Every structure is written in structure tokens, then in C-alpha cells.
Amino acid sequence: MFSTISWVSLVLVLAGIVIHWFVSPSPRLTKREASEAGGGRPWSGCCGGKLSTLACVVALGSLAILFVTGFGGLLLLDEQIHGYTLMMHVGLAPVFVISAGVVVIAWGHRCRLNESDRIRLASLLCLKKPETTDTPNLGWKLTFWLGLALVVPVSLSMVLSMFPIFGTHGQETLLCIHQYTSLALTLVAMIHVHLVIRRKASSVPPPPKK
């Protein structure tokens, strides 16, 4: 069941990203809109500064490796993780958690929801059509916080399983929580990266007319 859900969700998200990229072109932002997410500072890619950029790269790279080592055998060969793959997966997990923590510190202020974001979010939750002048930053901000929120159950489910607190059924439940939250985290990270790339492309000024 988990393999089927994983394949279907991955295909749907990838297809949605491709369709969104071509069907919904990135709007050209003004200078004020381009710097809005940075609290008045110019937009500088995924994270501003060398340390935060390195943390983003390490977090995304380690997440990709964790997904491959954790789900590669299960999705392709229908085998649970074991051996050296398990050792690599467990050893790389703290790297991802630490780098994710650095990303929170480095990028949390930039991803805060401003008044326009909150108004648009309230409109969406009430199933109302958002105003055309609303902020274009809501999507990647929400996926940022949602991804970081998912890091908590992903990490705790495995940490708790290392202690003899729960019985056999509890261990199975923790493994199930870890698998599904890890899949959700990967999907949210894919959508976030897509939205950040579009955000970066829309903030680039158009070439001067000749």
C-alpha cells in the first residue's frame, strides 16, 4: 500500500509542477514585491548569505539521499532498508536535522507571514477568490513552514523507536508515521523548491529593450 501511495503521489506532484510551470507563467514582480519577503532586503535566492545558502544545499541534498536510501529499495525492489544503506541513512539523519535548524534561523524571518499573506490565506480557507493584487509569496512561505513542521514527526518517530518504550505494535506505528511523514516532507520540499525557483525567476529584471 505504501509503495502505491508513494508512486502515485510522486507522479502527481511532478506532473503538477510541470503543468504549473508551463500553464502559469511567473509574473514579473516590482522591486517592492521582490524585496517584500526579505523585510526590505533584496531577494537573494534560496537563503541570503553563505552560511544559510550552504545550509539549504546540505538540507536539500541530505533529504534527497535520505529519501533514496530509505525508500529506494522499498519502491523499486520491495525490500526494507538494511545493511550499509541503513547505516548511511541513520548516519545522515542528524546532518539533515542540524542543517534544517540552521535554515530556520537563517530564513525564518524572511518567511514570516505579513498582513497580505494572512488576508489571502484567510480568503483561501474561506473558499473565497483571492484578490488579484494579493501577495505572490504565500505558497513558498507556507511550504517552508509546513516542511519544517514535518521534520518534527519525522525525527521523533525514529528517535522514539530507538528506546524500549513501545511494544511491537508501537514500533510498527512509529515506523508507519516515519514513512508517511517522510514522504510528505519530500513532496512538500519538491513543491517549495519549485516555487522558490519561480520566485527567483520572477524577481530577475527583464532585459533592456534595444
Distance of alpha carbon 33 from alpha carbon 21, whole angstroms: 20
17 against 41, higher pLDDT: 17
How much of the chain, in percent, has pLDDT values that exceed 90?
35
Distance of alpha carbon 62 from alpha carbon 148, whole angstroms: 14
Model-level pTM greater than 0.85?
no
pLDDT of residue 196: 87
Q: Could you tell me which of 139, 155, 146, 111 has the C-alpha nearest to residue 195?
A: 139
Which positions ≥6 away from 63 have C-beta within 8 Å?
96, 185, 186, 189
Domain residue limits, the chain: 28-203
Q: How confident is the model at residue 77 (pLDDT cuts 50, 70, 90)?
A: confident
How much of the chain, in percent, has pLDDT values that exceed 70?
79
pLDDT at 39 over 50: no
pLDDT at 40 over 70: no
CA 168 to chain centre: 31
- Alpha-carbon separation of residue 26 from 16, 136, 202 (angstroms): 15, 10, 6
Taken in order 155, 105, 141, 42, the sign of the CA dihedral is: negative
Alpha helix ranges (H) inside the chain: 2-23, 31-36, 50-76, 83-107, 115-125, 138-161, 168-203
pLDDT at 41 over 70: no
- Alpha-carbon separation of residue 72 from 77, 112, 204 (angstroms): 8, 35, 37
- CATH class of the structural domain 28-203: mainly alpha
pLDDT at 27 over 70: no
Lowest mean pLDDT among 18-22, 29-33, 117-121, 129-133: 29-33
